[in-house]
A and B are shown apart, each in its own frame.
Chain A
Amino acid sequence: MDDAGTYLYAVASDVAVPCPEGLKGVAGRDVRAIAQSGLVAYVSTVPLEQFGEEPLRRSMEDLDWLGATAHAHHRVVEAVARLGPVAPVRLVTVYSGEEQVRRLLEERHDDFADTLARVAGRQEWGVKAYVVKTEAAPVAPEPAAEEPASPGTAYLKRRQASLRTREESWRDAGARAERIHDVLRCVAVASRRHRAQDPQLSGRDEWMVLNGAYLVDEERAEEFARALDDLRGQGIELELTGPWAPYSFTVLEEGGPR
């Protein structure tokens, strides 16, 4: 135990492929492969003064650090994903040493093998759906009353009408998101819905009604994109991201068989 930790990016099948040459990971560290029990773990040695528990708690609150680290982690996962099936590991997973990583591969071998088999030949696609911003719904003109309503009453009526309209459009958009999700699920082997993104992080203030992830056979990628294109329009904007390594489909349950 010294002042270094072992940062784990991903686990892959051991297909005797060498670690990508000159690959750099978090904090600009070299990436290397640890082979054990027919699996490969991709790791970097990192200083605990940056990747120990306390420094991490502080760093995770720094958006610049978080961004740089997430992108570096992703770069390694991408490089490894080009070589074959890969199980990405959650951000900032740090072991005390190589020995612990070897033990992990040995003890959880079957879980990893199952997971890698499930994602082999498949990619993750992200689909985000937004409600297209339209001009505020025109307020129905006030029926000419015999006695003109007070300005306050008129205002309240208008406000109620616009709230009703908005609630209806929310419900409608929610129902459309469900339908879109259902159609896309038919082309995928697995799907998962992520939480709607924070507008401040995404930089978009349209209302997000779907943040889906879909695991799709590589040979059905075209079909998936076509299905998505057929769903476009009608006040919903659809955005496709990917292909991703199967991040959303490698969440291993802690211990025990799946």
Chain B
Amino acid sequence: MTHDAPPRGAVLAAEERLPAERVALVDLLDRLLAGGVVVSGDLVLSIADIDLVRISVRALIMSIRESDTFGGVDGEPWK
């Protein structure tokens, strides 16, 4: 059985937390936009209503990557 990624069990023992800067933004946005306490009340603004899909769509529009790096999978069954 070949592993594509090295098992991380051994790394766990070290209890090293990833430095905040090294965390992938996409993983962070999953948690910061779909998780966390949502409170309202006397808020100036809470973006509880903004989900990751809208953010990613905007990000795509805003990103200057004109080239179509993602070839597009036709007929993806689940989105």
Binding site for B on A (CB under 8 A): 5, 8, 11, 48, 51-53, 56, 60-63, 66-67, 70-71, 73-75, 78, 87-96, 100, 103-104, 108, 112, 115, 124, 126, 132, 163, 167, 170, 174, 194-203, 205, 207, 211, 213, 221-222, 225-226, 228-229, 232-234, 237-241, 243-244, 247-252, 254
A215 to chain B, nearest CB (A): 11
**Interface size, B (range):** 35 or more
Q: Which residues of B contact A53 (CB under 8 A)?
A: 44-45
Chain B residue at smallest Cβ distance from A91: B32
Chain A residue at smallest Cβ distance from B29: A70
Q: Which residues of B contact A229 (CB under 8 A)?
A: 3, 7-9
CB interface residues, B 8-35, toward A, < 8 Å: 8-9, 12-13, 17-18, 20-21, 23-35
Q: Are B39 and A93 touching (Cβ within 8 A)?
A: yes
Q: Which residues of A contact B8 (CB under 8 A)?
A: 225, 228-229, 240
Q: Which of the residues A52, A108, A197 comes within 8 Å of B39, measured between beta carbons?
A: A108
Give the distance in Å from the alpha carbon of A194 to the alpha carbon of B34 in the complex: 8
Chain A residue at smallest Cβ distance from B36: A90
